[in-house]
Amino acid sequence: MSQRFVVIMAGGRGERFWPQSREASPKHLLPIVGDTSMLAQTVDRVTGLVPKENIFVITNQSQLEGCRKACTGLPPANIVAEPIGRDTAAAAGLAMLLVKERSANGVMAMLPADHVIHDTTEYQKLLAVAFESAESADVLVTLGIKPTEPATGFGYIQQSGLWKKFGGRDVMTVKRFVEKPDQATAQSYVESGEYFWNAGMFVWRVPVVEAAFKAHAAELYAGLAKLETASKSAGGWAPALAEVYPTLKKISVDYALMEKSTNVVVVPATFDWDDVGAWPAIAKHFKQDDAGNVLRGIAMVEGGSNNIVVSADGHLTAIVGASDLVVVHTPEATLVCPKDKAQDIKALLERLKKDPERKKFL
Amino acid sequence: MSQRFVVIMAGGRGERFWPQSREASPKHLLPIVGDTSMLAQTVDRVTGLVPKENIFVITNQSQLEGCRKACTGLPPANIVAEPIGRDTAAAAGLAMLLVKERSANGVMAMLPADHVIHDTTEYQKLLAVAFESAESADVLVTLGIKPTEPATGFGYIQQSGLWKKFGGRDVMTVKRFVEKPDQATAQSYVESGEYFWNAGMFVWRVPVVEAAFKAHAAELYAGLAKLETASKSAGGWAPALAEVYPTLKKISVDYALMEKSTNVVVVPATFDWDDVGAWPAIAKHFKQDDAGNVLRGIAMVEGGSNNIVVSADGHLTAIVGASDLVVVHTPEATLVCPKDKAQDIKALLERLKKDPERKKFL
C-alpha cells in the first residue's frame, strides 16, 4: 500500500465573508461555522485517516502565522507558504512535490480548507474509498457532490457509469469536467442525474498526477521540475519557492489537468457538504430564532425577520424593522447587505483596493 | 423695557438618534446637523439678542457636565440641572423662578435645545417681536410654525385673527391649543390655513406666567412657591431642587397652561425650522451623493441608494446593495433600520431598558 497523505489548500481569501475575513484572517482561519477555525476543523476531520506528520497545509505568506496557530497539532514544517498565488494547478504541483519528497509513490488527497462537513465518519469512509481507487489504478480520483439545486457557482463532473466498487461504495468513470454553467445548462445537468458538483477534492498518486502534468500542462510541468531541483539544494524549500514559484504558469487545476485527462473517476459523496460560499449560507448551520434570525454575539433584531447578524467584541449590533439582511460588525468595519446581494461584496472590495486611504480595511 | 432672558430647555434624550444619542450624550449635545452640538448652536443663535449672563440652560444631572462643556461662553451657574424629570410645566416653572430671582418683571423666551434653524437674522427678528408682544401686554406668546404637511407628531395652535403688529410683523390672537391630532384632523388643520405647529417656543413675562400657574395649575403653583422659598435659604438652588423638585406635579406646559389660558397670542414664524425628529430627517441638511446617499464619517455605499450612513472613530461602515436604510455606527453600538421604520427604535430601547446585561447600551 502507498503511504497516504492529505494536503489542505488554505490559500484563499473568502472575500465574501468580509469584514470578518481580512487579508490576514481569511475565511478558513475564522470560526465561520463552529467554534474553531474552518482549517482546524478540516485537520480534525482527517485525523485518524492519515498520520499527523502526513498532513500538509499550503497557504500564503500573510496567512502562514495564522495557519500555524490554527494547526498546532501538525509539524510546523508541514505548513508551507506560497510566496505568491499562482492558481490551483501550481498549488497542486507544489503539493505533489511536497509529498513526492516523502514518498515517491505516495497517494495524496487535496482538500479545501473552508468547507463544512459534519458527518466525519462517512467522510473518512469515502476518502478511504478514494485512496483505494487511486492505489488500485493509474487514475485521477475526485469526489463529486450530488447537486441539490442548479447552482451556477460550481463546475460540474459528468459520470459515465460504474468503474469499480470499494467497501461497497460505487466509484464511477468520468465522461468530462465542465466549467461553471449558465442557469439553463445547470438545470439540464441536475435533471439528467449524471452530474456532480466539482468541490475541488482530489485524490491521486504522485506518479499519476506527475504524468498528467507532463501530458497536459508541459510549461507548468517544466517549472515544477525546476522547483523540485531547487528544493534539493542546500537552502531547501523556502529559497526554492521564492525563486521559482513566481515563474509558474497561472492556471486552474480543473483547466490544466481535469478537463484534459481521460483517466478520471469520481466517488459520489454520501456525506453532508456545504462550501458556505457567503454570509447568507451560514443560516442553516445555526439556531434561528422564531423569526428566522441568526444572531451571533451581541445582536438584536426588533420587528424584522430572516436577518443574519454577527457582532463581536462587546459591541451591540441592532436591526430595527428590516428583513433579509446580513449585518456583520467587527472592530474595524461593518457590513450591511441584503442576503440576495451578498455576491456584490466583491465590488465593494474592488473599490477598497483602489482607495489608498481605505485599503487598510481589506 | 423689561430685562430679557432666554432659557434653553435641554433635558431631553432624543432617543430616536440612538445609538449616537445615549443617556449622557443626548441629541442636543451631538452635532446631529452642523459641526457643533445642537445646544451650542441654539446658544449661538440667541447670542446678541440677550446678554450671555441672561441665558439659562435647564438640563438634568446626567447631562449637566456635557451641557457645561457645550456652553463654555455661559456662566456655569446658569446651567441648572433638574434632579429628576417632572415634565415641561415644572421645567417652565423652574425657568420662571430662575429669571424671577434676577428680575421680577423679567421677560423670558423658553426655547428647545435641539432644533435646526439656519436663518438666524429672521429668527432673532421674530424673537424680538415675541419679546415686544410679551412686554406690551399681559399675554403668553408662542411662536407658531406654518405646517408643511399634515404631521401627527406635533400639537397645533389655531389663530383667530390679527392681534397687533411689531416691526411690521403680524402677531395673531390664539383661539386654542390642540394636542397631536390624527391624520385626518391634521389634514383639515393644514387645509384651513388657520393652524400652526406648536414647536414649544414660548415668550412671557414672569408675572404673567406666574398668574397662569396660579389660575390653571394650582397644585404645581404651590410646589413652585415652596421651591422659591427653599431657594432663598442658605444652601441656594441645589438643595432646594433636590428637596422640592421631585414633589412637583408632572404635567406638560401645553396641558397645564397653554390649553387653558385665554390670553395667548402667536407669532407666525418666518424663519426655516426643523425639529429633526429622527435619523431620516437629517438627509435634507447634508450634501447627498448622486444616488441620494448621505455619508458621514468613513462610510461607503455600493449599489444602493437613499441611504444614510453615519460612522466614526476610524471605523468603516459599508452598505452593499441596500436602499432607504439608516445605518449608524458608534464605538459601542450599531443601528440598522429602514428609513420608514425609524420610529420603531423606541421599541428596541424599551427592550434594552429591561435587559440587565444590555441596558449599558442605552
Q: Do A21 and A89 lie in a common domain? A: yes
Residues A40 and A113 in one domain: yes
Chain B nearest-CA distance from A283, in A, is: 19
Residues ≥6 apart with Cβ < 8 Å to A205: A2, A105, A106, A107, A108, A134, A135, A138
List, as one string, the DSSP characters of A187-233: HHHHHHT-EEEEEEEEEEEHHHHHHHHHHH-HHHHHHHHHHHHHHTS
Residue B195 counted as domain residue:
yes
- Could you tell me the three cell numbers for B51? 446678554
Q: Positive or negative, the Cα torsion across A2, A8, A11, A13?
A: positive
pLDDT the model gives residue A312: 78
> In whole angstroms, how far apart are CA A126 and each of A167, A270, B201?
9, 8, 77
Contact flag B337-A322 (C-beta cutoff 8 Å): yes
Beta strands in A13-168 (DSSP E): 55-60, 79-82, 107-112, 140-145, 155-166
A228: number of Cβ within 10 Å:
18
* A123 and A242 assigned to the same domain: yes
Residue A75: CB atoms within 10 A of its CB come to 12
Chain A hits for B293, CB-CB cut-off 8 Å, are none
- Kindly report the CATH number assigned to the domain that includes residue B194: 3.90.550.10
In-domain check, residue B256: yes
Query: What are the angstrom distances between the C-alpha of A249 and each of A80, A112, A272, B301?
Result: 19, 21, 34, 37
* Range name among A195-209, A344-358, B119-133 with the lowest pLDDT average: A344-358
Contact predicate B73/B55, CB 8 Å: no
User: Would B157 be classed as within a structural domain?
Assistant: yes
**Closest partner residue to A300 among B329, B342, B351, by Cβ?**
B351
In the block, cell 489537468 appears at A257
Q: Are residues A251 and A311 in the same domain?
A: no
Q: Which of A158, A162, A145, A161 is nearest to A188 (CA)?
A: A158
The model's pLDDT over A173-186, given as tens digits with 9 standing for 90+, comes to 999 999 999 999 99
Interacting residues of A216 by C-beta distance below 8 A, sequence separation 6+: A256, A257, A260, A261
DSSP code at position A68: H
> How does the average pLDDT of chain A come out, rounded?
95
For residues B20 and B97, state if they share a domain: yes
Would the CA dihedral through A59, A61, A66, A72 be positive or negative? positive
- Closest-CA residue of A relative to B345 is A320
pLDDT of A2 over the 90 cut: no
Whether A315 and B336 lie within 8 Å, measured CB to CB:
no
Residues of A in contact with B19 (CB under 8 A): 316, 318
- Using 50, 70 and 90 to split pLDDT, how confident is the model at B313? confident
Nearest beta carbon to residue A317 from set B331, B334, B351? B334
Do B145 and B25 belong together in one domain? yes
Give the pLDDT confidence of B315-354 residue by residue, as tens digits: 999 999 999 999 999 999 999 999 999 989 999 999 999 9
pLDDT tens digit string along B260-299? Answer: 999 999 999 999 999 998 999 999 899 999 999 999 999 9
Q: Does residue B220 share a domain with residue B350?
A: no
Per-residue pLDDT at A1: 64
Per residue in A185-194, pLDDT (tens digit) is 999 999 999 9
| Portion of chain B with pLDDT greater than 70, in percent | 100
User: Which of B268, B302, B328 finishes a domain?
Assistant: B268
Host domain of residue A143? 4-268
CB pairs under 8 A between A and B: 115
In angstroms, the separation between the Cα of residue B38 and the nearest Cα of chain A is 25
For residue B310, the distance in angstroms to the closest alpha carbon of chain A comes to: 11
Contact assignment for B316 to A334 by CB distance below 8 Å: yes
Return the bridge partners of B336, or none.
Answer: A319, B327
Question: Chain A residues with CB inside 8 Å of B335's CB?
Answer: 318, 320
What is the pTM for the complete model shown? 0.85
Q: How many CA atoms lie within 13 A of A173 on its CB side?
A: 7
Bridging pattern class, strands B294-296 and B308-310? parallel
Residues A171 and A38 in one domain: yes
From CA A92, how far away is CA A82, in angstroms rounded? Answer: 11
Catalogue the E-assigned strands of B146-213.
155-166, 169-178, 195-205
- Which of B253, B271, B42, B46 minimizes the C-alpha distance to B146? B271
Asked, for residue B35, whether it belongs to a domain, the answer is yes
Distance from CA of B233 to the nearest CA of A (A): 47
- Give the CA count within 13 Å in the CB-facing half-sphere of B113: 30
**Residue B274 located in a structural domain:** no
Residues A335-340, mean pLDDT to the nearest whole number: 94
- Please list every residue in chain B whose beta carbon sits closer than 8 Å to the beta carbon of residue A340: 321
Looking at B237, B268, B299, which one is the last position of a domain?
B268
- Rounded alpha-carbon distances, angstroms, from residue A163 to A157, A177, A198, A271: 15, 17, 18, 20
Give the model's pLDDT for residue A254. Answer: 96
Considering A268, A294, A318, which residue would you say is the last residue of a domain?
A268
- In A, minimum Cα distance to B347 occurs at A302
Same domain, B157 and B181: yes
Burial of B232 (0-12, 13-18, 19+ CB in 10 A): exposed
What end-to-end distance do the CA atoms of chain A give, in Å?
46
Does A142 lie in the same domain as A189? yes
Question: Strand B195-205 vs strand B107-112: parallel, antiparallel, or unpaired?
Answer: antiparallel
Flag whether B353 is in a domain: yes
Judge whether A273 lies within some domain: no
CA distance B331 to chain A (A): 7
CB contact set of A25 (below 8 Å; sequence gap of 6+) = A66
Residues 6+ positions from B316 with CB-CB distance below 8 Å = A19, A332, A333, A334, A358, A361, B298, B299, B300
What interface predicted TM-score (ipTM) does this complex get? 0.84
Residues B295 and B215 in one domain: no
Q: Look at residue B1 in the predicted model and tell me its pLDDT.
A: 64
In angstroms, what CA-CA distances link A213 with A200, A206, B34, B50, B169? 17, 11, 65, 88, 91
Amino acid B189 reads Y
Instruction: For residue B30, give the 3-state DSSP assignment.
Output: coil
Dihedral of the alpha carbons of B42, B45, B51, B57, in degrees to the nearest 10:
-10
CB B32 within 8 A of CB B17: yes
For the stretch B27-31, contacts whose Cβ atoms lie closer than 8 Å and that sit 24 or more positions apart, written own/partner, are B27/B114, B28/B113, B28/B114, B29/B63, B29/B66, B29/B67, B29/B70
Phi, psi of A41 (to 5 degrees): -65, -35
Query: Does residue B273 fall inside a structural domain?
Result: no
Q: Give the pLDDT confidence of A64-83 residue by residue, as tens digits.
A: 999 999 999 999 999 999 99
Number of domains in chain A: 2
Residue A73: phi and psi, rounded to 5, are -80, -10
Query: Residues B112-124: what's their mean pLDDT?
Result: 96
Smallest Cβ distance to B302: which of A303, A318, A348?
A: A348
CA A34, chain centre distance (Å): 17
CA B118 vs CA B38, B50, B154, B208, B294: distances in Å: 12, 19, 21, 31, 19
Residues A202 and A140 sit within 8 Å (Cβ to Cβ): yes
My answer on whether A35 and A184 are in the same domain is yes
- Mean pLDDT (chain B) is 95
Say yes or no for a CB contact (<8 Å) between A336 and B329. no
